[in-house]
């Protein structure tokens, strides 16, 4: 079977608009055995994401997932949201009536934990992780039996005191077993946390990031993303972290290693060009599908010389059901 042309993963092809064309939709779905779904959506006031917006799933989402399963497709739910663990996402799926198993979720925190435990595999005891992030990172590190410090430690949620400068410089406040600095989205950043991270990097610790998204869509606007948390350490240390979320191919390699799929028979489904769609293109997947309920708009990839172009696009994920919009809306 040929996967080139409009269904290929190349960013130089012309994307096909699938909404309302059941024949084209069926042909597109039949091209693939595996679908990777972005599930980053977090906005509560406007349509952001592929599967949901805040605490509300888009109409027809559950039915679309069930349809793909009924056609024998392998599903993987991929997210750059490092603040939530796979277990957290499973609870969210259950609450929205979307069929998904915890083992089908692959987040940037889990990607980092897998990389640290199974690929980096630093010899103990110098393999402890200093975390700039939330509980989602900690939960996934625990799942791989990785020791860590920092993170949600309440003792670090304070101002930097004059004595702290001396204690950091002397090493008194440092853990000698730390060999890795891991940054993610941290809702409680502080100068003290950054100073400790810099000190560990100066000692030779490996520099990793769950992801480096520049922004976080929320409340109808954009806020600093995980990349804004690692940025101070990048500026202070002169180092760039290895990112383990989309579009990093370290994440794609980890996903392929776990789920054992043929990349040419896989499709990345997402709403953001510079993470989701680029992730699929750089991963040499057979196809990419952009859903227009999120950050990126069709005008961005339909213009001449667009940098990132999906194989195909739809208005909403439920358009894959092949039903008319009037029928779909009447059933919700």
Specify binding-site residues for Mg(2+): 38, 40, 271
Measure the CA–CA gap between 6 and 14, rounded to whole angstroms: 6
Catalytic residue among 26, 30, 33, 38: 38
- Binding site: which residues? 38, 40, 246, 271
- 3-state SS of 75-138 is EEEEECCCCCCHHHHHHHHHHCCCCCCHHHEEEHHHHHHHHHHHHHCCCCCCCEEEEECCHHHH
* Three-state secondary-structure class, residue 70: helix
Q: How far apart are CA 271 and CA 297, in angstroms?
A: 8
- Can 40 be counted among the known catalytic residues? yes
38 among known catalytic residues: yes
* Ramachandran area for residue 121 (φ above 0: left; ψ -120 to 50: alpha; else beta): left
Cα angle value 23/27/30 (rounded, 5°): 140
Nearest to 184 by CA among 225, 123, 156, 140: 225
| Active-site residue, from 40, 43, 186, 276 | 40
Catalytic positions, written as ranges: 38, 40
């Amino acid at each position: 079977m040929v996967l080139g042309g409009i269904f290929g993963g190349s960013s130089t092809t012309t994307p096909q608009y699938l909404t309302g064309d059941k024949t084209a939709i069926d042909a597109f779905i039949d091209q693939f055995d595996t679908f990777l779904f972005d599930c980053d959506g977090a906005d509560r006031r406007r349509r952001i994401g592929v599967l949901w917006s805040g605490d509300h799933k888009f109409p027809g989402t559950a039915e679309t997932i069930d349809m793909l399963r009924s056609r024998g497709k392998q599903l993987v739910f991929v997210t750059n949201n490092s603040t939530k663990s796979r277990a957290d996402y499973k609870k969210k799926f259950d609450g929205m009536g979307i069929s998904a198993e915890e083992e089908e979720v692959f987040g940037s925190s889990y990607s980092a934990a897998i990389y640290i435990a199974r690929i980096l595999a630093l010899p103990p005891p110098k393999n402890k992780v200093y975390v700039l992030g939330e509980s989602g990172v900690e939960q996934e590190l625990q799942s791989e039996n990785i020791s860590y410090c920092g993170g949600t430690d309440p003792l670090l949620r304070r101002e930097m005191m004059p004595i702290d400068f001396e204690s950091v410089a002397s090493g008194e406040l440092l853990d000698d077993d730390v060999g890795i600095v891991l940054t993610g989205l941290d809702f409680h950043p502080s100068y003290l946390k950054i100073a400790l991270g810099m000190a560990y990097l100066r000692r030779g610790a490996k520099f990793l990031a769950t992801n480096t998204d520049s922004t976080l869509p929320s409340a109808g606007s954009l806020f600093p993303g995980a990349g804004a948390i690692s940025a101070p350490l990048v500026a202070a240390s002169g180092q760039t972290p290895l990112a383990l979320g989309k579009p990093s191919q370290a994440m794609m390699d980890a996903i392929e290693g776990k789920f054992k799929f043929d990349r040419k028979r896989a499709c990345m489904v997402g709403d953001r060009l510079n993470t989701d769609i680029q992730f699929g293109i750089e991963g040499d997947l057979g196809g990419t599908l952009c859903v227009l309920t999120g950050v990126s708009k069709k005008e961005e990839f339909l213009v001449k010389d667009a940098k990132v172009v999906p194989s195909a696009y739809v208005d909403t994920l439920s358009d894959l059901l092949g039903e008319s919009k009037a029928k779909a809306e009447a059933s919700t």
